[in-house]
Structure 1
């Protein structure tokens, strides 16, 4: 690879470990800048020349540039492999009776509901790394192993999302003698929920019970890190909104409009003393669980992002031992939640210290420890991950073109053969960043465009606020004009037989979806025809609705239609036409 120059984009420099190290040491103000990621596309020389700490020191600036341009960029970035803590076989004395830990669990549960075993055991050393705990569950000839986790204060838990009704038995296994060999059983009754969302019909989603799931999602990355008042406001907004999926991060965020400290941290320690990445903070996880449960009560899927790069606490650079512990701990605690989707990362390609080997290892940890096989994806910034990988259940996509986003759904479906979820198509708002200042009209158009092409588009808002409470990061209340229109789209899709949209052919200049010669939605987007001609089978009679997707109106035209016919249209943008076959 060629050496860096003054014209090399900062992104390329920062992703190189040697160059990253120089900048972190010599210009920590730049490396820790909360808007660093907005500077990535500028050339290195321009960034150094405008950096506050260097502007008055030409000599130091030249020295740093010389050191950076002398580096031979790494072709392959290797992450240091630190020794992983191993469970101790002699964690408890040999005279500790096996299966002696006090244990409690319910005698009944239900299909697709969470079942929990609570065990009171030893707490010396570091139980998060020193103790290995799992349980083998079996029923009707099938069996699988579920990991347990330490929940602090000598308490251990093993959680199962019960996959079937019937009589279930379990036996624990642990290197801690008091936790090993504990057996029990329970009865699981009929389902009390819809179950887990799965991929169906290659490009779509449904719950375990067959009910279609049409993900119309929103993003609020750090909403669970804002304190109770704002978090409750977010939940109220969601309760009154149209969204059924929420993208959200486990870790807090340090970025533009995200400069506040969270009230509680994921690990033991503090900002001043540092954090122990091998000791999760159970109180943090209990809070996160409560918020995920509240989303489920609202019928909202929690699309949980495990890693992201917007960090000033070290959570994005913990190293492989802590990373693996984190992933396994998250899955052990949360895989029993019906409404979980796993996302390995938001903008994985900005986590410069991790490579493909790491992401594949994380995917292996998730799939090995989640017996219910929740949906699993990974999200890009600049470069797509290989969505053809077998563990990737669906494409989680951020736009790569300034203008075209939902229009690419057709291409991505063909390329990957999987559901296309455009989780970040840009945000409705008015900040200075191009990803955060589209109009409500354009957000709504992108939702319709993606839906008619057989995909699923996500929402977010970035309207300026005097208190920096922007929905996309902190939640709060909706300020934009698109949420109501997205709710209207949700209603229109629910009226399609089967509850989902499949693209149709037959129009060279406009997109359509539905069921051939039965129920067809045609979307004109930013075009504004005053009439439209159709050619349909003579033996099928249609009723026709003219749908104004912005004003949220449905006008049924008088009479019925078949064969060749013409209809008048209002000559406005954002109009759709619905043809419904009638007996």
Structure 2
């Protein structure tokens, strides 16, 4: 009897050891995240000394991904499958206990809210991997993941009811006006600490050793965003350190190690976008030429080809380079009037995101006190031009929580109006382009049966029914006319019908040269839909 008891005890011990050494899910949905967990050495510096990768295969499909050390002797490999069926994997490592591990899992049909990662479509626009259109209506909360837990949860609650489907956010903590607090987690292992004359504790770091808790927290928040249908535009580097932590001055070798570690951890998250830097030209510790090295390193380490950009301060980078999928621009003047936003789009021939056009708020700085009307109009000017605009809010809330910096609550007037525009866009038959950018910077079209005309600040008593002749509708087409108040968020169907006649020069007019009466108000738009 005792031999039988001993046998089962040894069996359960053995199974427990196996469970501790390797774990993976048997099923993962398409564009979900498969994770293989292995037990390995803790001695030395596992972040540098141990190399781990895996090859995933399904028939002729083969994908190689990097693994990473997650602390306490735990190693992980993550993979985002892009096709249904049985996938097999095999690990490769310079450490015997991690090398040659094999297994398989089933990739199943994705859930209804899983459309896959966002990709470039039709040169200037975006789609999810399953073909669903994606229109980026973004916001900004640079350091929201470096705040007390209650504030982070409040930010998520705010985003749940906000109209935004993308957020710009930093990996590293930020030290800047209105965001000077110490984060809960740091990305690197602490070596030592000293007290400064002001009483603040200053740390020194071992940049060769990462802090897994920091990255686990970041991953949790990215997953929280994914549940809300929000893309995480992850800013890899930024200049807002000023010697506080030194994370902007790691040196080239440490920068590349950080890139490799970050991409190994995050590439399998389907809602991740890469932003090489915010205001790259303000990071004085990194010469301009190094950004080519860093952007190539990110692209090479990401087998899924997530969207990638680099954001400027005063000087644009070489956005036409193949490492960049789209253009992320800081330029408020590009969306403060008609015809400006389209110009850079025609330079780079890529999707154009005006990711910083100043912010709605009450800060004294010139970039921090747009009115709600100005921010809303910036979105309309960018949208009409076939480009995209990102929101930010800099009103001071109780407790000095400015959404642009720390997250929290939104109190501005533009988010509701931005949500109204998003619904208009998502109900359109496709993405917008200027119908005739040389002659008409007010009229956008999705096709010859759908037009959106934005009047902006101009207050007119009437508007003559006409459209650009370029690729316009044929004679005899009839259009329903709707008057849109972009500020009051109303759509009124007018009784008139626009019936086209043969083009007269550059314009197509109503066959009876009709006009419609307009209220003497700014920020009106007109939508024409073929009957």
TM-score (norm 2): 0.88
CA shift at 1:183, angstroms? 1.1
Residue of structure 2 aligned with 1:266, choices 187, 203, 208: 187
1:524 correspondence with 2:455: yes
* Distance in 2, Cα, partners of 1:506 & 1:304: 33
The residue number in structure 2 matching 1:361 is: 293
The match for 1:306 is 236
Select the residue among 56, 60, 76 that pairs with 1:141: 60
Q: Does 1:252 align with 2:173?
A: yes
- CA–CA distance in structure 2, aligned partners of residues 361 and 180 of structure 1: 30
Match of 2:320 in 1: 388
Superposed CA RMSD: 1.8
Counterpart of 1:316 in 2: which secondary structure? coil
CA 1:425–1:116: 2 relative to 1, 3 Å = same
- For 1:464 and 1:261, how far apart are their aligned partners in 2? 19
Long gaps (5+) in structure 2: 1-17, 194-200, 468-473, 501-509
**Which secondary structure does the structure 2 equivalent of 1:317 belong to?**
coil
Distance 1:247 1:502 in 2: 25
Query: Residues 535 and 401 of structure 1: is their aligned pair in 2 closer, same or farther, counting only changes over 3 Å?
Result: closer
CA distance in 1, matches of 2:164, 2:185: 27
CA deviation string 1:301-356 (max 9, x = no partner): 00000000101200000111211111111110011111000001000001112123
> CA-to-partner distance for each residue in 1:101-150, whole Å, 9 max, x for gaps?
92111222121110010001101111111111100111121212100000
Higher strand share: 2
Match for residue 439 of structure 1 among 371, 389, 393: 371
8 Å CA contact 2:92, 2:98 repeated in 1? yes
2:394 pairs with 1:468: no
> Counterparts of 2:351 and 2:136 in 1: how far apart (Å)?
11
Q: Deviations over 1:396-444 (max 9, x none)?
A: 0001649848853211111000000001010001111111101000000
What is residue 512 of structure 1 aligned with on the other side? Answer: 443
Deviation at residue 573 of structure 1 after TM alignment: 0.7
Aligned to 2:480: 543
**SS in structure 1 at match of 2:412:** coil
Is this contact kept in 1: 2:332–2:356, CA < 8 A? no
The answer to whether structure 1 residue 132 and structure 2 residue 51 are counterparts is yes
Match of 2:254 among 322, 337, 343: 322
The alpha-carbon distance between structure 1 residues 131 and 100, as it changes in their structure 2 partners (threshold 3 A), is farther
Q: 1:218 to 1:273 in 2, by over 3 A?
A: closer
2:149 corresponds to which residue?
A: 228
Would the alpha carbon gap of residues 506 and 294 (structure 1) be closer, same or farther in structure 2, given more than 3 Å must change? closer
Q: 1:181 & 1:538 partners in 2: Cα distance?
A: 69
Match of 2:507 in 1: none
2:507 counterpart of 1:577: no
Q: Is 1:282 the equivalent of 2:212? A: yes
2:116 is aligned with 1:195: yes
Other-structure match for 1:416: 348
- Tell me if the contact between 1:520 and 1:578 (Cα under 8 Å) persists in the aligned partners: yes
Q: Deviations over 1:229-286 (max 9, x none)?
A: 1001100100010000000000000011111111211111165341111111111111
Shift of 1:534: 2.1
State the match for 1:293 in structure 2.
Answer: 223
**Deviation per residue, 1:192-243 (Å, 9 max, x gap):** 3100100000000000000010000000000000111100110010001000
Among candidates 17, 21, 31, match of residue 112 of structure 1:
31
Given the alignment of the two structures, is residue 215 of structure 1 paired with residue 136 of structure 2, yes or no? yes
Q: Which shows bigger deviation, 527-536 or 547-556?
A: 527-536
Equivalence for 1:9: none
**Which of 154, 158, 166 is the matching residue for 2:77?**
158
Give the C-alpha shift of residue 502 in structure 1: 2.0
Change (3 A) 1:254 1:569: same
Change (3 A) 1:141 1:506: closer
Q: CA shift at 1:478, angstroms?
A: 0.4
- Partner of residue 204, structure 1: 125
Contact preservation (8 Å) 1:100, 1:178: no
What displacement does 1:466 show?
5.2
Cα pair 1:222 1:248 within 8 Å, conserved: yes
Match in the other structure for 2:274: 342
1:556 aligns with 2:493: yes
How big is the shift at 1:516? Answer: 4.0
Aligned: 1:240 with 2:161:
yes
Deviation, structure 1 residue 572:
1.0
Look up the SS of the partner of 2:340 in the other structure: helix
Is this contact kept in 2: 1:216–1:244, CA < 8 A? yes
- Structure 1 window deviating more from structure 2 (299-308 vs 403-412): it is 403-412
Shift of the 529–372 alpha-carbon distance from structure 1 to 2, 3 Å rule, reads: same
Q: Deviations over 1:21-64 (max 9, x none)?
A: xxxxxxxxxxxxxxxxxxxxxxxxxxxxxxxxxxxxxxxxxxxx
In structure 2, C-alpha distance between the alignment counterparts of 1:138 and 1:493, rounded to whole Å: 39
Aligned residues: 483
Q: CA deviation at 1:453?
A: 0.2
